[in-house]
Amino acid sequence: MKRRVLYSEANYPVIVRNKGYFVDKTQYVERLESVANPVFLRPRRFGKTLLCSILRHYYDLNCADEFEELFGHTWIGQHPTGNQNSCVILALNFSLIELGKDSSRIERNFQQYCNGELDDLRDFYPSLLAAMPEVIMDAPVAENLNNILRYLKKNRLPPLYIIIDEYDNFANQLVVSHQDRLYRELIADDGIMKTFFKAMKAGRENSTIRNVFITGVLPITMDDMASGFNIASFITLDPEFEHMLGFTQKEMDDLLDAIYRDYGIDPGTRQEVGAVVKNQYNGYAFVTPGGKGVYNSTSVMYFLNWLQRYKTIPKHLTDLNLKTDISWVRRLTASNPQLTEEFVDRLAVHGSIRYDDVMLMEKFNMQQFFEKGFFPISFFYLGMLTRKDEYFLQLPNLNMRRIFTEYFNEIHRIDVSTRYTEFMQAFSNKPELEPLFAGYWQEYVSQLPEAIFQQVNENFYRTTFYELAAATCRAGSPGMWSVPTPKVAATWNLWASIMKSTQACAG
């Protein structure tokens, strides 16, 4: 059975048992053991849930018989820490908690979900926890957790390892929808969040909890509840963990080489495909400006899934699931249309924006979230901006440039739907660059507001013209490698040259 690209699969055993391509990051399991209560934030679709699944199956005492199958081929399987399969696992995913119209409904949903997971421990570990205290579904989660922790301590049972994925999901929804009162009730001293995290802190202090691993996107909730869990270690911007998620260039090259080899793809296309992938999905520098950036791993797997199946590049290079992230721009800027326009114009035209490095390094709270100066920081954590240097954040790649360009066109009511048909058809029949560029200038640039036209620079022209040219080339891309006609070769060569010319622009 050939290895397969399992796009968007986040269940680690499923990847192993279905022979999915897997970039081995398990050396970070050992590194995480030296950190107490690590909190690691990354944008959506960067592999956080898969990392949680790996940790869960490494430490779960129920998985001892499967250790060789699941980890024998990995770094951690060949260098075990001694703590493998030694814990009772409590794995929570707060994105599964539904919001409510009032605080009582939110509290009830939180209780029902978390208490349900606590109650399931009895079924998951029957030989250990058959006699554990009853979980009262309508009781505070902290109360039930404390009862279970006392039971573990009294009976000298294995400790809990707690994994919380998307810890900030429903809190972020309250913030961006301006439900300030509900948010304050959620993070109050006697609210459901702080009391729950205080219970975890107590468990860590008496060693009934081995460790707590937390993932999310934004640090906003963590700051507000810090008094309840002030023992957390924020490793989001720690250089040692910069590449724990996302693919490095070497990892990307190795993955592409393996797919080319396994599926017999024409090696003559390897260099050009590598350039496409790099320009589209690379460039995320979360810690070190100008250092070795990483690829958005889920977007890469979207591309590779198509490559594996059809031995060609996707017609559409942007994962539609990633495009939905632009909704964050609308939600964050909805209350200030002028600020929206300024922010999007700056990024679409210049590709970068100033930021305060001190603000990036510190946690932030709800009051700061909608401040103009804080917008770049919010979009850094959302994965739409990355570090250019100590003074500027920039759009990381052409994928994100495309998304912001589309929003730019929407704001300024620039018609891009039907105006290029004649030029595209002419280019498809006779791939000459000059008339295509003339059409771009006539039909796109002529629509720009005068104030914008006075600001645009080479990067803006490259990005917007690239979109027109690339769309034209992609229209004939399926099967192009298997039909090496002169027309296809010329089209491919032009696209490759455009990709190379935009590489500097894309970072």
> What single-letter DSSP state applies at residue 135?
P
Torsion from C-alpha of 341, 345, 348, 352, nearest 10 degrees: -110
Average pLDDT over the chain reads 85
pLDDT(504) > 50: no
Tell me the C-alpha distance between 472 and 483, whole Å. Answer: 17
Q: Which of 225, 166, 233, 160 is nearest to 196 (CA)?
A: 225
pLDDT(477) > 60: no
CB 289 within 8 A of CB 390: yes
pLDDT at 489: 44
pLDDT(124) > 70: yes
pLDDT(112) > 90: yes
Between 89 and 186, the higher pLDDT residue = 89
Task: Provide Rg for the chain, Cα atoms.
Answer: 25
Q: Which structure tokens are listed for 425?
A: 């058809």
Q: Which structure tokens are listed for 502?
A: 């935009």
Taking the alpha carbons at both ends of the chain, their separation in whole angstroms is 38
Between 442 and 505, the higher pLDDT residue = 442
What pTM did the predictor assign? 0.90
- Kindly state the average pLDDT of the residues 197-221: 93
Between 249 and 356, the higher pLDDT residue = 249
Give the whole-number percent of the chain exceeding pLDDT 70. 86
β-strands 160-165, 88-93 pairing:
parallel
Tell me the C-alpha distance between 237 and 377, whole Å. Answer: 13
Between 408 and 122, the higher pLDDT residue = 122
pLDDT(499) > 50: no
Q: Which of 20-24, 57-61, 476-480 has the lowest mean pLDDT?
A: 476-480
Indicate the pLDDT class of residue 77, thresholds 50, 70 and 90.
Answer: very high
pLDDT(383) > 60: yes
pLDDT(378) > 80: yes
Residues with Cβ within 8 Å of 95's Cβ and at least 6 positions away in sequence, in order, are 165, 166, 169, 170
Domains of the chain: 12-241 (3.40.50), 249-314 (no CATH), 336-412 (no CATH), 414-447+457-507 (no CATH)
